[in-house]
Amino acid sequence: MPFDPSTLVYNDAGLIPAIAQDHQSGDVLMMAWMNAEAVARTLETGKVTYWSRSRQAFWVKGESSGHAQRLVDFRLDCDRDCLLVLVDQTGPACHTNRRTCFYTAVRDGGEVELMAPEV
Amino acid sequence: MPFDPSTLVYNDAGLIPAIAQDHQSGDVLMMAWMNAEAVARTLETGKVTYWSRSRQAFWVKGESSGHAQRLVDFRLDCDRDCLLVLVDQTGPACHTNRRTCFYTAVRDGGEVELMAPEV
């Protein structure tokens, strides 16, 4: 069936969470938000595009940092209220310069940093 | 540093998104929500426990279906507003009986079902 971004389920702010996963390593890189137009732009351009809640603007990942995400596969979940984008990630995904935003683990009741920023 | 669930960033409903990933295959299985008490219970029991928004109740994954998630590693992101739980998944994660909830891809403008329900 043809895909229409308006058939996804958005929250009260018109947003849907999008999980970015490295298509090669399988690492979960980050989670951010898209609106219907960001979904459409991501599919049209192949450049993963989020909606920045803090800036209230489209956020073409890597446009300023160079750490872009090229779309490899676009998936939606059974409830149509969450997205999974498989990406080809250039450089670190996290603004802290780490490969993934999920670099902190909770182990034995304490926080453990799993990786240092790339240099 | 010691971990305190109250230091996570929750939304207006007191919830934080939690992504479940199969620790062996790397498959992203599902995304659901936790509140601070669900985070604490998950860490204490090793049984991944969400907050069901529809039922407004704790949801120990697999408690009724048997498709439980044993916690292998608990991670948080740079903004402390999203969780990643690496799990040992028993049976399919999705209520449709598929391994993952993300079984639909958008390719060439159309929706493609990537896997059938397990029997």
Whether B118 is in a domain gets the answer no
Whether A118 is in a domain gets the answer no
Q: How far apart are CA A19 and CA B31, in angstroms?
A: 9
Q: Which residues in chain B have their CB less than 8 angstroms from residue A114's CB?
A: 75
Residues of chain B in Cβ contact (below 8 Å) with chain A: 1-3, 17, 19, 21, 25-28, 30-31, 43, 73-79, 82, 84, 94-96, 98, 101-107, 109-111, 114
Q: B65: helix, coil or strand? A: coil
> Mind listing the pLDDT tens digit for each residue in A70-113?
999 999 999 999 999 999 999 999 999 999 999 999 999 999 99
Q: How far apart are CA B113 and CA A35, in angstroms?
A: 23
Q: What is the pLDDT of residue B10?
A: 98
* Torsion angle of C-alpha atoms B40, B46, B50, B51, degrees rounded to 10: -40
pLDDT-derived band at B119 (thresholds 50, 70, 90) equals confident
Q: What is the pLDDT of residue B63?
A: 95
> Mind listing the pLDDT tens digit for each residue in B63-98?
999 999 999 999 999 999 999 999 999 999 999 999
CATH number for position B20: 3.10.20.810
Q: How far apart are CA B97 and CA B94, in angstroms?
A: 5
Does the complex come out with an ipTM higher than 0.95? yes
C-beta of residue A28 within 8 angstroms of C-beta of residue A17: no
Contacts (Cβ under 8 Å, ≥6 apart) of B26: A25, A26, A27
Residue A17 structural domain: 5-113
Whether B119 is in a domain gets the answer no
Q: What is the pLDDT of residue A102?
A: 98
Number of domains in chain A: 1
C-beta of residue B113 within 8 angstroms of C-beta of residue B103: yes
Q: B13: helix, coil or strand? A: coil
Asked whether residue A55 carries a pLDDT value surpassing 90, the answer given is yes
